Amino acid sequence: MVGVGAVKLEERLKSQARALGFDLVGIARIGPVETAPQFAEWLSRGFAGDMAYLARGAEKRADPRRVLENVRSAVVVGMNYGGAEPPGPVARYARGDDYHDVMATRLHELHAWLNAEVGRDVSGKAYVDTGPILERDLARKAGLGWFGKNTMLVNPDIGSFFFIGSLLLDLELAPDAPFEADRCGTCTRCLDACPTDAFVAPRMLDATRCVSYLTIELKGDIPEELHAGVGENVYGCDICQDVCPWNVRFSRDLKEPAFEPRAAISGKDSRQLATELLAMSQDEFSTAFRKSPMKRAKLRGLQRNAAVVLRNQSSG
């Protein structure tokens, strides 16, 4: 879409996205994905571990035009989840309600608003960390940030503690300039801080050694040699983000009520949380963690993690 009216539409669209609670918003032109070859190499090296679903839909990941017929643009958004909140046994992103649901609902609202604005039903599809698209690539293309050495997307205004979502549209929108700069410089704090040495190189993560993978995605036992690296992390890990200078300086307070820590987590240290999880029944777990992203690990996975954390404390 071109012309003065189109410019106004992009501006109104971004304003509406911010009104819906998104902290970042940009527009990307759809086309072949620049990082597809690196992603394919990452998969071939076995770094995805048990996450076999990541290998599905390779053709679509390489080019979002295969995801949605006649797709022309992507509205890419970011939502802060409180990097300035204190560290704890649960990664900040998982302390409240499931971000997939929260963000997908807002993206659907944005889509409905857009339909009303243009006076027709625009074909579109919302993705929040799901589906066969490489959202970091779209986000960089939409100007939201650069790939940090810990593989996280870093924004110069709010750091990296934010979720990414995308709305693919059959609508021509004026794109934003891609984020071309690499502002990590010579810094290697994220790489040096990883307790399990999961980074084989800058921007190359062996997920099978990552604490987040070990405590969330891994289905079996956590390898004995990595127990110490898990430390006091019951679910997920924020260490490589905590030490990033961009987060130290620019992380924001939590403003979205849906991401406030639930009662089962709030104010609890790793020992208390681990002890309670080990004593929890399935029914108690289902009630306490309703709508929580932590349900992904299931009770048995969280109890596995809890046992490792308590052993680490007893041997420390």
Annotated active-site residue in 50, 63, 101, 129: 129
253 is catalytic: no
pLDDT at 131: 87
Mean pLDDT of 141-147: 98
> Is a pLDDT exceeding 90 seen at residue 275?
yes
Q: Give the pLDDT confidence of 147-185 residue by residue, as tens digits.
A: 999 999 999 999 999 999 999 999 999 999 999 999 999
* CA-to-CA separations, 176 to 68, 76, 143, 232, in angstroms, rounded: 21, 10, 6, 41
Residues 6+ apart with CB under 8 A from 166: 74, 75, 76, 77, 107, 126, 127, 128, 133, 135, 138, 139
Q: What is the pLDDT of residue 130?
A: 87
Ranges of each domain in the chain: 4-169, 189-315
The per-residue pLDDT for 4 is 44
User: Taking residues 51-77, what's their average pLDDT?
Assistant: 93
Q: Is a pLDDT exceeding 60 seen at residue 6?
A: no
Q: What is the predicted pLDDT for the residue at 316?
A: 63
Please write the tens of the pLDDT for every residue from 182-230: 999 999 999 999 999 999 999 999 999 999 999 999 999 999 999 999 9
- pLDDT exceeds 60 at position 2: no
Average pLDDT, the chain: 96
**Is residue 260's pLDDT more than 80?**
yes
pLDDT of 315 reads 83
117: which residues sit within 8 A by CB, 6+ positions away? Answer: 9, 12, 13
Residue 29 pLDDT grade (very low, low, confident, very high; cuts 50, 70, 90):
very high
- Among residues 169, 201, 149, 181, the alpha carbon closest in space to that of 68 is found at 169
Q: CA-CA distance, 40 to 184, in Å (whole number)?
A: 24
